[in-house]
Structure 1
Amino acid sequence: MSKIDERYKEACIICEEKKERGIHIFSEFICWECEQNIVHTETDENKYRYYVDKLQKISQSKLYS
């Protein structure tokens, strides 16, 4: 298996690690592993607040024409 080229990796806004697989929400990247953790976290779990705080980094860009 070949090593993935670093230029194809992006820093996740949750774990801050460079990963290749994930999603983009506006201009921010969330890796696949963090996305799965977020989706499966219940609102009464301690880590829920952690994810909410991290996700607040996402801001909708405003494009004016």
Structure 2
Amino acid sequence: MANPSPNKCFLCCSPAKKGIHFLAFFICTECEGKIVNSSCTDHSYNFYVEKIRQMWKEVLPATFLMFK
């Protein structure tokens, strides 16, 4: 059986075979680890906050439409 094609990470845009699905998006294991181990004083913290905010902005309108 062939390996499934890699997913594209929403944060780093790299193809990856392992990671998590968060909301409707894929986050590779490497980016997940960076998020989990980041501190609000880290240089990359704001990048991750903005990308996660972008995920929510894309998902929330669809969620509201489901309940109308």
TM-score range, shorter chain: 0.7 to 0.9
Aligned to 1:31: 28
In the superposition, the TM-score normalised over structure 2's length comes to 0.74
In the superposition, the TM-score normalised over structure 1's length comes to 0.77
Q: Which runs of 4+ in 1 moved over 2 A?
A: none
Q: Indicate if the aligned counterparts of 1:8 and 1:20 stay in contact, CA closer than 8 A.
A: yes
Q: Percent identity, please.
A: 28
Match of 2:49, SS? helix
RMSD (Å), alpha carbons: 1.9
Q: Indicate if the aligned counterparts of 1:10 and 1:19 stay in contact, CA closer than 8 A.
A: yes
2:47 matches 1:50: yes
Q: Which amino acid aligns with 1:48?
A: Y
Long gaps (5+) in structure 1: none
User: Offset at 1:57?
Assistant: 2.4
Taking CA–CA contacts closer than 8 Å with sequence separation of 6 or more, which of the two structures ends up with the larger relative contact order?
1
